[in-house]
Structure 1
Amino acid sequence: MVPQPLALGFEWAATLPSWVLAGLSLGIVFAAFSAAMFVVGEQLFPSPPTARSEDGERGQARRRAEIRHYLDDIGERYAEDHPVAGHTVAFYLPERDVAVTFDAQAFFDIQGAGTAAVLCEHEMPGHHLGRRLPFEVPELEWEPAGEPDAVERAFRALGLSPAASTDEVRDAYRERVMEVHPDHGGDEESFRAVRDAYTTAREHAD
């Protein structure tokens, strides 16, 4: 037996002209098709970080790049986006059992679990990490991420010259990210490096 509300709906639809029903049907099909294409398009062509990321996400990406650079310079082995005590931390130093995170809650939980934890603010320059690590680190001459060499490296990673425009940076990012995207045979490290390069290049584009 057809439920009464559904039966009333069928009766109401039967009173409509056939051209109205056809239009409604086509509209539903078109809406479903558009939604599916949007989802597929977003997977195949990831959008560059938007203005939403200007404060938090972009700042964190820059600090992560600086910390990565710093850890490489002091010769410390690390894993990125590593699970520790139920949280995913930005960096984990396996030989020292030290977790580096931007998340205050993760910091306290990890400390309570017995792993040494370091909390970084988004505004903290990467080379300041050495002051917070619970072991001695070599003294280095630090080159900030905003210096010309770092900027040139970012443009070079996108296959551009430092004189490239914002549009050229965006287009190069979209093309390069397709090559390194994990869904297309790339790897997470290369994908992250391209995103970091885009963040820096966008800030210095003409």
Structure 2
Amino acid sequence: MASEVLWFGIPRWIVVGLAIGFVASCAAACLFYVGTRWFPGTGGGSSTSSTGNERRTIEIREYLDAIDEAYAENHPVDGTSVEFYLPERDVAITFDPRTFYRLERGPTYPVLVEHELPGIHLGSRLPFETPEVDLGPDPEDRELRPYDEAFAVLGLPTGASESEIRQAYREKVKEAHPDHGGDEDEFRRVREAYTTAREAAAGETATPGEAAS
């Protein structure tokens, strides 16, 4: 009977139960930490936000190419990362307000690009004179062609090569795959975009409803 009682008269089964509970809680916490680090979830509304960022990135890239301005994408500046950095001007272009306000205190000139701002209008916010360029109709006044949308989903400029499409698809599909914490709708959208972009690269114009098999 004495063997069933441990310190301070506490029964052995209570001590064993507490120990098992503690070990199980630590294991669950470790699994949760590893899961959030390796397979971060996308959260609600991520598809819309992701598509908006992809379109802005493509439009800004096209604009900077048109004005012949050197740039680097996803560049580190003052301990953070910005979508575009102009090394010859020390100008950082970001989509994140927190990054913008942080960079305002440093020597780099930050430019905040909101979701609604078409890339063609970036010139009015840059701290230097830019030439006038014609990139076609304002994106707000035109409807995207089916394959324009597909290239935007893959984060590519319209007219990218088949090898570029395949590479972008491999990267995007890993992020969107449900087994890696992605979203089923986003995964399907990436596959459909891949099919449409490949057909566009081959000289065809498929509709967004056509899915990859």
Q: Shorter chain as normaliser: what TM range?
A: 0.5 to 0.7
* Aligned pair partner of 1:98 in 55, 77, 91: 91
Q: Per the alignment, do residues 37 and 87 of structure 1 end up closer, same or farther by CA in structure 2, a change over 3 Å counting?
A: closer
Query: What letter corresponds to residue 44 of structure 1 in structure 2?
Result: W
Distance in 2, matches of 1:70 and 1:51, equals 31
Query: What letter corresponds to residue 77 of structure 1 in structure 2?
Result: A
Indicate the percent of aligned positions where both proteins have the same amino acid.
37
Give yes or no for contact 1:77–1:95 (8 Å, CA) kept in 2. Answer: yes
Residue 109 (1) aligns with residue 105 (2): yes
Residue 36 (1) aligns with residue 34 (2): no
Q: Which runs of 5+ in 1 are unaligned?
A: 1-11, 160-168, 179-197
Query: What letter corresponds to residue 27 of structure 2 in structure 1?
Result: F
Q: Per the alignment, do residues 170 and 100 of structure 1 end up closer, same or farther by CA in structure 2, a change over 3 Å counting?
A: closer
* Aligned pair partner of 1:50 in 43, 53, 61: 43
User: What is the CA deviation profile of residues 73-124 of structure 1, one whole-angstrom value per residue up to 9, with x for unaligned ones?
Assistant: 55533223434467643321113332223435246435xx3x5443322321
Distance in 1, matches of 2:188 and 2:137, equals 18
Q: Spell out the pairing of 1:139-158 with structure 2 (5 A cutoff).
A: 139-141=134-136, 144=139, 147-153=145-151, 154=153, 157-158=168-169
Give yes or no for contact 1:89–1:100 (8 Å, CA) kept in 2. Answer: yes
* Aligned pair partner of 2:73 in 76, 80, 85: 80
Query: What letter corresponds to residue 15 of structure 1 in structure 2?
Result: G
Distance in 1, matches of 2:8 and 2:89, equals 73
Give yes or no for contact 2:173–2:187 (8 Å, CA) kept in 1. Answer: no
Aligned pair count reads 164
Alignment correspondent of 2:200: none
Residue 121 (1) aligns with residue 121 (2): no
Residue 173 (1) aligns with residue 167 (2): no
- TM-score, with structure 1 as normaliser: 0.55
Q: Per the alignment, do residues 75 and 106 of structure 1 end up closer, same or farther by CA in structure 2, a change over 3 Å counting?
A: same
Give yes or no for contact 2:92–2:109 (8 Å, CA) kept in 1. Answer: yes
Q: Which structure has greater helix proportion? A: 1
What's the secondary structure of 2:177's corresponding residue?
helix
Give yes or no for contact 2:73–2:84 (8 Å, CA) kept in 1. Answer: yes
Q: Which runs of 5+ in 2 are unaligned?
A: 1-5, 155-164, 191-207
Query: What letter corresponds to residue 201 of structure 1 in structure 2?
Result: R
- TM-score, with structure 2 as normaliser: 0.54
